[in-house]
Structure formats: C-alpha cells, structure tokens
Amino acid sequence: MIGLIITLLVAVLAYLLLASLISPIVGIVAAILILLAGIPSGGFGFGSRFGARGTRA
C-alpha cells in the first residue's frame, strides 16, 4: 500500500514538473509511464500483477 502511494506521488510530481517546464502532454505521458511501471507490482517495480515471477523449476 505504501508503494502504491509513493508511485502515485511520484507520478503527480513528474506531471507537475514536466507540465510546467516542457508541455502538459509530456507530463501526462510521463505520469502514465510511471504508473504503468509501479502499479502492477504494488509500487515496488518488480513482480507482476498476477503473482508469477517468470521462473520455472
């Protein structure tokens, strides 16, 4: 849960920073990419939404 909150905060900060410096479109794209990278794993950046890690014995 904490990882999800951190992911959301980073996405919002990236949007605000890039929207004010470059372009709102770039800010939206960056925020979406950050959310896609962080949310499937609960914000930790590894694993997957379904629990499989991709390794087989």
In the prediction, which pLDDT does 29 show? 96
Q: How far apart are CA 44 and CA 57, in angstroms?
A: 24
In the prediction, which pLDDT does 25 show? 96
pLDDT digits (tens, 9 = 90+) for 3-54: 788 889 999 999 999 999 999 999 999 999 999 888 765 555 555 555 555 5
Q: Where are the domains of the chain?
A: 9-38
Q: Which of 42, 35, 28 is nearest to 10 (CA)?
A: 35
Contact 48, 12 (CB under 8 A): no
Instruction: Quote the pTM value.
Output: 0.68
